[in-house]
Amino acid sequence: MNQHTRDWVRYFVDYSALAVFLVAYFVTGRNIANATWALVVGSGVAIVVGLIVERRIAPMPLIVGGAGLVFGGASLFFHDPRILKIKPTVMNTLFGVGLLGGLAMGKNPLALLLGSSFDMPKATWRQLTINYALLFLGLAAVNEVVWRTQPEATWVLYRFPGMMILTFVFSIAHAPLLMKYIKAEDLPPPPTE
């Protein structure tokens, strides 16, 4: 399988369940229970597609999809949409605390995940990790404010695509820093014309 196909499969695995949730919410007349069923099914399908196509289950989609199954399933079982609404708070808090906890233990989780692509000094890895930890903690805090103070439709749009857009903008803001340290062998070859 070529890199382009792998990239599309990764996008599908990462975002399809959320996209199905968003569409189902608005198509079913803003019915959060039906949208949650769509999220649970979509999460399961995304994990299976990732397993079939890539012949492995990548850790992040498994964590995110598994959380979708657990929180969505609990929300349906207990008939309480608040359980689903706290999922982004719980997951982003865990990611933020995990990054900061790794630093506190003398490890750098981002360097472990991305270290083969970037050759950065330890201080730069540390700052990047702190920045991403603060992003995750900020997303958790905003989620709490949005679901507790805004109409449900606003929360659904914040959940997806809002959080994805905020994360994308944050990551793009860090692109100049990362480009300084990208390894030369990871750059595409120059044009040959």
**pLDDT for 8 beyond 90:** no
pLDDT digits (tens, 9 = 90+) for 71-111: 999 999 999 999 999 999 999 999 999 999 999 999 998 88
Tokens of 127: 């700052």
Write out pLDDT tens, residues 23-63.
Answer: 999 999 999 999 999 999 988 888 888 888 877 776 777 78
Whole-model pTM: value is 0.85
